[in-house]
Amino acid sequence: MIRVGINGYGTIGKRVADAVRDQPDMEVVGVAKTRPNYEAEQALERGYDLYAAIEDRAHKFADAGMETAGLVDELVAQSDVVVDATPSGIGAQNRDLYEEYDTPAIYQGGEDADVADVSFNARSNYDEVRGADHVRVVSCNTTGLSRLVAPLREAYGVEKVRATLVRRGGDPAQTGRGPINDILPNPISIPSHHGPDVNTIFPDLDIDTLGMKVPATLMHMHSVNVTLEAEPDAEEVRELLADQSRIMVIDESLDIEGTGPLKEYAMDMGRPRADLWENCLWGESVTTEGRDFYCFQAIHQESDVVPENVDAIRAITESADAAESVATTNDAMGI
């Protein structure tokens, strides 16, 4: 069994912990939090050992009636791999801790790419990550774009990608995020950071991205145009994408017109936390004109990177090849 520590038990960390626990070849050593709150309380309720991430604040857990198993250093020392799910920028600060205990670490897409030896997307570059000590799982949006680009490159070749990302203002629990009543170019300059981030997966890809922020919390939306090297048939492309295990092609008969019904669909399916781990791509939006392909896809920012973290664990430990890992992860999580 691969022993996995989770440093940071927030939006991503709690989902990764549950996904790791569901795997047949992994176990959760424990999770680390900086302070007691409802997530720390729920970590204990779910049976996870809780570790204090900051020694000076460790007493606050006891004051709140929450028992800890020790400090984060002990969690790192006991783990074969640590998934760092701390806020952006903190992962880079934690790298020295992981190196001190010679524990490989997986970082999230909020970190700069140079925090790790290589950036990771299971569909696109699994083999490049095998045996690495420090790996960065790219962001939710970059994950969604990479999953879409990989099969198109393989089947048709890609000349250029153009994507406009309409991004949610914040997650449902982020009360301080916005905008509340505005539509923001974010950033105003072009490209947004997403294109260069996709280039950490596909270095030779010609890609332009534009970003916006809107007053919504549920999901991101991508409007994508790809100029291919070969002239595709729309139905063939639709079938190609439907064959991808982490792309959910939404059939017109489902009458899902936006991200609200998508989240309702996830709840009705009984998905934990109403998570949508897959790219949600509207089948009727798949259009081709000459060598140009167009589509709309929605990305659940809280969850699409979760299976990627699980696969990154196997890649780092060299315990499975790409196909085996993805199949195992998908089966265990119900993807």
102-134 pLDDT per residue, tens: 999 999 999 999 999 999 999 999 999 999 999
What value, to the nearest 5°, has the Cα angle with vertex 314 and ends 90 and 275?
A: 65
Structure tokens at 264: 């309702």
Q: Specify the higher pLDDT residue, 96 or 177.
A: 96
Query: Phi first, then psi: what are they for 13, rounded to 5°?
Result: -60, -40
Query: Is 106 annotated as belonging to a binding site?
Result: no
Instruction: Tell me the average pLDDT across 175-195.
Output: 93
The DSSP H or E segment spanning 238 is helix 234-242
Query: Is 140 annotated as belonging to a binding site?
Result: yes
Query: Is 195 annotated as belonging to a binding site?
Result: yes
| pLDDT above 90 (res 189) | yes
Find out whether 301 and 211 touch, Cβ atoms under 8 Å: no
Query: Is 6 annotated as belonging to a binding site?
Result: no
CATH fold for the domain made of 140-299: Dihydrodipicolinate Reductase; domain 2 (3.30.360)
| pLDDT above 90 (res 9) | yes
pLDDT band at 39 (very low <50, low <70, confident <90, very high): very high
In which residue are the tokens 């799910």 written?
85
Q: Look up the CATH number of domain 2-137+306-333.
A: 3.40.50.720
| pLDDT above 90 (res 172) | no
Sign of CA dihedral 87, 147, 209, 168: negative
Find out whether 12 and 300 touch, Cβ atoms under 8 Å: no
Query: Is 301 annotated as belonging to a binding site?
Result: yes
280 is catalytic: no
Out of 140, 198, 221, 326, pick the active-site residue: 140
What CA–CA distance (Å, rounded) separates 28 from 49? Answer: 9
What CA–CA distance (Å, rounded) separates 331 from 335? Answer: 7
Sign of CA dihedral 62, 64, 68, 73: negative
Percent of the chain whose predicted confidence (pLDDT) is above 70: 100
Burial 64-84 (b: 16+ CB within 10 A, else e): eebebbbbbbbbbbbbbbbbb
Beta-carbon contacts of 65 under 8 Å, excluding residues fewer than 6 positions away, are none
- For the chain, the domains span 2-137+306-333, 140-299
Instruction: Tell me the average pLDDT across 214-238.
Output: 97
